[in-house]
Amino acid sequence: MSALPLEGISSPETAPDALSGFTIGVTATRRREEFGALLERRGARVVSAPAIRLVPLAEDTDLLAATRLALEAPLDDVVVTTGVGFRGWMAAAEGWGLSADLGEHLTTSRLLTRGPKARGAVRAAGLNDYWTPATESCQEVKQYLLAQDLRGRRIAVQQHGEPLSEFVAELRQAGAEVIEIPVYRWLPYRDISPLRRLISQTISGSVDAVAFTSAPAVHAMLGAARAEGLEEALLAAFSGSVVAACVGPVTAEPLVSRGVPTLQPERSRLGALARALARHLPEHGVTRLLAGEHQLEIRGHAVVVDGELRPLPPAPMAVLKRLADKPGHVVSRAELRTVLPGSIARDSAEHAVEMAITRLRRALGPSGIVETVVKRGYRLACQYEVGM
C-alpha cells in the first residue's frame, strides 16, 4: 500500500501545540533524544522504546579480513550504504594502519552512495562520490549495477547492519567478484521491556503513532510481537487507528510488504518526519464536536474545550471517545463498561462507569457537555458534528 496522503492538511506543522494531546512511540536508538525533542517541542507526549542497538565491528576479524581482501587488487565499484558505516570502516582501517592503502583504492573506484548521509561521509573523507539513487534504496543501486556488464568487476559492498544476501547473490550471478564489508550489525536492544510495553500500548490504542527511523527497528518490533504471539494484532493496530510513521521508503518496506499503510515525509529526514506527524495527526486524529454549546476537540489523551487543552486519564478518555462515536445518542452503562481499560472493565458493578463519568465531567470543566439519561445511560449534548 502507498503512503498515507498529506494533502489538504490545515494544521501548521511548526505550531508549538500541533501535537498536543497526542502520544507518539519512538523506536530509534541513535539520535532518539534529538527526535524526541522535535516532537515534544510540538506538544507531543513521547514514549521512548529503543528497538535495536548498533554493534561496531572495528575489532572484528571478519571486517579486517574483508578489508585485506579488498586491498589485494583494485576495486571497480564500492557501494556505500550508510554514512555511519563508512566512517566506521575508515576509522577501523586507520586503527589497523591500513587507511592510506584503503584511501588509495577508494580514490580509483566508483563510489556509489545509497543516500545523502552516505554521500556526505564519502565527501567528508576527501573522496568523490560517483552516483546516488533518487530513491535512496539498495534496490535501485542493484538495478543500476545489473544494467552494466559486471563480468570480472571487483565490487565492495558495505553492509548496513543486515546481510544484503540477495543483493550480493545477484551481482555474483552477473559475473562480479563481490567483497562484503561487515562494518556493524544491528542487534535487539539490551532491555526489551520498553519495546514490549510499546507493543501493548499500540495494540490497545494508547499511542496515536509509532515512529520508525530504520527498517531493522521495524523488524525488531515485529519480531518482539511475534515472540509474544501478538504480531497480527500489532499489524491490525497499524492498519487501524495507530499511524506507522516511517522516515522513508526503505524503512517502510517491511510494513508496506504486509499491506500496512505508512506515513512518510517527502524527504527522508528526522525533521521532515516530525513535520509530517505534526500535519497528519491534527487532521486525521481529531474528532471535533459541538456539545452543550462548547467546542470540543478529542485527541489521543486529551480534549480541547473551547481552545483549552485538558489531559484526561485513560478511563474518562475511553468513555468520551465511545460517547463521541455516537454524538447525541444514548450509550448504555453496560456498553461503556466494555471500553474501560484493564481491570476496571472487569468490575461487575456500575460504580466504575459512574466514577469515569464523574472524572470526565470534572476534567471537561463546563457543565452540560455530558448528559445523564435516567435508567438508560449517558450522551454528549451534541447539536451537530463539526468534523473529523
Write down the domain spans for the chain. Answer: 23-51+189-284, 55-186, 287-387
More confident of the two residues 113 and 388: 113
| CA–CA gap between residue 318 and residue 378 (Å, rounded) | 14
Q: Can you count the helices (H) and strands (E) in the chain?
A: 15, 17
In the chain, the amino acid numbered 350 is E
Answer yes or no: is pLDDT of 8 > 50.
no
Would you say the CATH fold of 287-387 matches that of 23-51+189-284? no
Q: How confident is the model at residue 4 (pLDDT cuts 50, 70, 90)?
A: very low
Question: In CATH, what number does 55-186 get?
Answer: 3.40.50.10090
| CA–CA gap between residue 241 and residue 12 (Å, rounded) | 22
Q: Which CATH class is domain 287-387?
A: mainly alpha
> Would you state the pLDDT for residue 181?
94
Contacts of 98 (CB under 8 A, 6+ apart): 67, 68, 71
> Would you state the pLDDT for residue 59?
53
Answer yes or no: is pLDDT of 69 > 90.
yes
CA dist 297 → 21, 155, 280, 289 (Å): 10, 56, 15, 7
Grid cell of 360 as nine digits: 470526565
Averaged pLDDT for residues 130-145: 93
Q: Which of 34, 127, 44, 136 is nearest to 78 (CA)?
A: 127
> Would you state the pLDDT for residue 15?
53
Answer yes or no: is pLDDT of 320 > 80.
yes
Averaged pLDDT for residues 231-253: 94
Q: Please state, rounded to an integer, the average pLDDT across all residues of the chain.
A: 88
Range of lowest pLDDT (179-188, 237-246, 271-280, 351-360): 179-188
| CA–CA gap between residue 201 and residue 342 (Å, rounded) | 12
> Would you state the pLDDT for residue 347?
45
Summarised one tens digit per residue, pLDDT across range 155-177 is 999 987 777 889 999 999 999 99
Cell 499491506, residue?
Answer: 259
Grid cell of 78 as nine digits: 564500492
Summarised one tens digit per residue, pLDDT across range 334-351 is 899 988 876 554 445 568
Question: In CATH, what number does 23-51+189-284 get?
Answer: 3.40.50.10090
Task: Enter the pTM of the model.
Answer: 0.72
Averaged pLDDT for residues 201-224: 93
Averaged pLDDT for residues 203-214: 93
What are the φ and ψ backbone dihedral angles of 312, each rounded to 5 degrees?
-125, 140
What are the φ and ψ backbone dihedral angles of 300, each rounded to 5 degrees?
-55, -60
Range of lowest pLDDT (15-19, 134-138, 335-339): 15-19
Answer yes or no: is pLDDT of 386 > 70.
no
